[in-house]
A and B are shown apart, each in its own frame.
Chain A
Amino acid sequence: MKVAVIGPGNIGTDLMFKILRSPYLEMGMMVGIVESEGLKRAQSMGIKTSTRGIDAVLEDDDIKIVFDATTAKAHIKHAPLLKEAGKIAIDLTPAAVGPYVIPVVNLEKLYDEPNLNMVTCGGQATVPIVYAIAQVAGAKYAEIVSAISSKSAGPGTRQNIDEFTITTAQALCELGGAKRGKAIIILNPAEPPLIMTNTIYVEVDEPDEEKIKGAVFDMIRRVQEYVPGYRLRVPPILDGNKVTTIIEVEGAGDFLPKYAGNFDIITAAAVAVAERIAARMLKGGVEREGEKVHSYSRHHIA
């Protein structure tokens, strides 16, 4: 299935590398609005590029899925145009025009949506764990702390850090199933850069250790299908009704360095969403219950 990426920056380029490895997706076009390093790189790799931005994408009827790695402001303009052209938008900006999606949590309910928002890196890393715990033990409250290396926090994140905390907290409740949520983000400048770590605290209704551990371990395996570097650092520790779990995310090192697991998890999740949509469209029907779409990462870690 032919796809396009709008926005040839770090995220867009990392997406491109992942798309090129995907057995389901074909990298149709990379577009920007000015000449840039990112466009040159795509071109040198034999990919069609354009500086006419979204217009170039809209003109190509074969492109069915479009990744938007620009800005919230730009995506608000792009969203209606893509919808009108019958293209599915996967939005990696904070615009949140469409519903939030976490592949392992709610993608199945969203196959007919024309526009899907990828939440935040912290949301992709922590909501699956909150969801897993909430399913077996209930979640009165969920709180997460995402620590990322300073080098991996771009100007967009820095100028609007509140966006991260507010959006992530919202996703802990809406998707994770917690009644209340709180998110904290920490930037750490240590050298060599630290791998992204995420601490997830959940106040549960039923502190059943075996069930909670089982659910968390199972969820980690499911996320690893599209983010191979998603790993447990500290297994669920129970303290009364409080459950503490610590996860680290090492990037695949496609374009961005391995410590930038925060970038990797959001681009990998976006590609996983596109692959699952593509697989379903190619089959022309509903995916059978329990059948998993093998994502690119499986082929590569095998």
Chain B
Amino acid sequence: MREKKFIHIVDTTLRDGSHAVAHQFTEEHIKTIAKGLDDAGVEYIEVSHGDGLGGSSYNYGFSALTDEEMLKAAGEVIKRGKLTVLLLPGIGTHRELELAADCGAKAVRVATHVTEADIGEQHIRMAKEMGMEAFGFLMMVHMVPPEKVAEQALLFESYGADCVYVADSAGAMLPSDVKACIEAVVKRVKLPVGFHAHNNLGLAIANSLAALEAGATFLDATCRGLGAGAGNAQTEVLVGVLDKAGYETGINFYKIMDVAEELVEPIMQRPQVIRNASLMLGYAGVYSSFLLHTYRAAEKFGLDPRDILVELGRRKMVGGQEDMIIDVAYQLSQRKALKEGVSLGEAG
């Protein structure tokens, strides 16, 4: 029998999943889930604020724990897997990366908007100098043609990255889009290529499979799909699907299902389903992390969250621009007030 092709899985329940719990993971959550993932055989276990190291803020939400507390908690229980962190240059800096390395992080994913890989050069080089595995992670790839993604992936390769990721951060891509994008990248770069899915259009697993068929060898997933927007590819589902499709992940199927059901599900604040606003994220191509912030702004300004998301999509906002949700909500509420003939009496 032919040997099964090995697919590397990065479980990001404790990073992308952080968005879905408004960054309120406790030390106990992190310890139990990281230990469960490690025991199940997950190779990369990503732990960070949803917006990466240094993400705790007004703009993205303050986390219950500091970066150091989160990483130390996970570091204590991870024995086989690699403690992985996310860094968005412009939000986190080399200072947080050094701290993460001190706390035992073995891999870092340096994430930039799909056209801005060069702002991550210093961090990729620094990670390599510190002996870490370094991933270049291109976000919001649906906004540009596949050739542009490949060009930026090449930049990450030139900085010394070990792997380059293509992220459908808005969950806006169809399997055919994913295939074209991954193919373009695989053709140009020598590095292994990964794919990060969001389920806003209900396609996270299908898109992950399409990525593998196009030559990707790394995939992201979260238990119960816990993540920004409608969540990510569901780890336990992906493990089952990949097994059926003839791939090897090194993850024990029963054990990962148990982690999802016994450890992750009880701490979920709401079911990870595709509600209307998350569907709009995928449809309008808006960064998935905007979801909960948009609900809050819609309530504060008395608006339909879908109107805010459509306007954000029209303005081509990129990952990290959560502040523009307030900007859009304010402008829409002013327009609405004008229509209704009410003056809010604001200056400026």
Contacts and interface: CB of A to CB of B under 8 A. Distances in A.
A201 B58 contact: yes
Nearest to B140: A189
Interface in A185-231: 185-190, 194, 197, 199, 201, 203, 213, 217, 220, 231
Nearest to A189: B115
21 contacts: A145-B59, A147-B323, A150-B116, A155-B118, A158-B118, A158-B119, A158-B121, A161-B89, A166-B95, A182-B54, A184-B59, A186-B90, A188-B316, A190-B316, A197-B327, A199-B324, A201-B59, A232-B347, A233-B327, A234-B327, A237-B326
A220 B323 CA distance: 20
A246 B316 contact: no
B276 interface: no
- Interface of chain A, main secondary structure: strand
A165 interface: yes
B59 A143 contact: yes
B59 A188 contact: no
B321 A186 contact: yes
B90 A165 contact: yes
B91 interface: yes
A140 to B, nearest CB: 12
Contacts of B330: 233-234, 237, 246
A160 B327 CA distance: 28
A162 B57 contact: no
Nearest to A247: B348
B346 interface: yes
Given A187-B90, A188-B318, A199-B59, A159 B347 contact: no
A294 interface: no
A190 B315 contact: yes
Interface in B289-314: 300
Interface in A126-166: 143, 145, 147, 150, 153, 155, 158-162, 164-166
B327 A159 contact: no
Contact of B348 (A165, A194, A199, A231): A231
A145 B321 CA distance: 8
B348 A220 contact: yes
A184 B91 contact: yes
Contacts of A234: 326-327, 330
B323 A199 contact: yes
Given A145-B323, A166-B95, A242 B316 contact: no
A184 B320 contact: yes
A188 B143 CA distance: 12
B26 interface: no
A185 B118 CA distance: 14
Interface in A233-260: 233-235, 237, 239, 242, 244, 246
B29 interface: no
A139 to B, nearest CB: 13
A170 to B, nearest CB: 12
A165 B93 contact: yes
Given A188-B318, A239-B300, 9 more contacts: A143-B57, A159-B118, A184-B91, A188-B316, A190-B316, A199-B59, A199-B324, A213-B347, A246-B326
B296 to A, nearest CB: 10
A161 B119 contact: yes
Contacts, number: 104
Across the A-B interface, the 4 shortest Cβ-Cβ residue pairs: A232-B348, A199-B323, A190-B316, A162-B93
Interface residues of A, number: 40
Nearest to A201: B58
Contacts of A190: 315-316, 318
B94 interface: yes
A235 B321 CA distance: 18
Given A143-B58, A235-B347, A162 B326 contact: no
A158 B155 CA distance: 13
Nearest to A155: B118
A159 B59 contact: no
Contacts of B320: 145, 184, 186
B317 interface: yes
Given A231-B348, A232-B348, A246-B326, A185 B90 contact: yes
B113 interface: yes
Contacts of A239: 300
A220 B115 CA distance: 33
B342 to A, nearest CB: 17
Most chain-A Cβ atoms within 10 A of its Cβ — which of B121, B316, B323, B330? Answer: B323
B119 to A, nearest CB: 5
B58 A217 contact: no
Given A186-B318, A189-B116, A246-B327, A160 B122 contact: yes
Contacts of B93: 162, 165-166
Contacts of B119: 153, 158, 161, 187
B89 A184 contact: no
A150 B290 CA distance: 21
Interface in B312-348: 315-318, 320-321, 323-324, 326-327, 330, 346-348
Contact of B346 (A182, A186, A235, A242): A235
Given A189-B115, A244-B326, A184 B122 contact: no
Interface string A51-80: 000000000000000000000000000000
Contacts of B317: 188
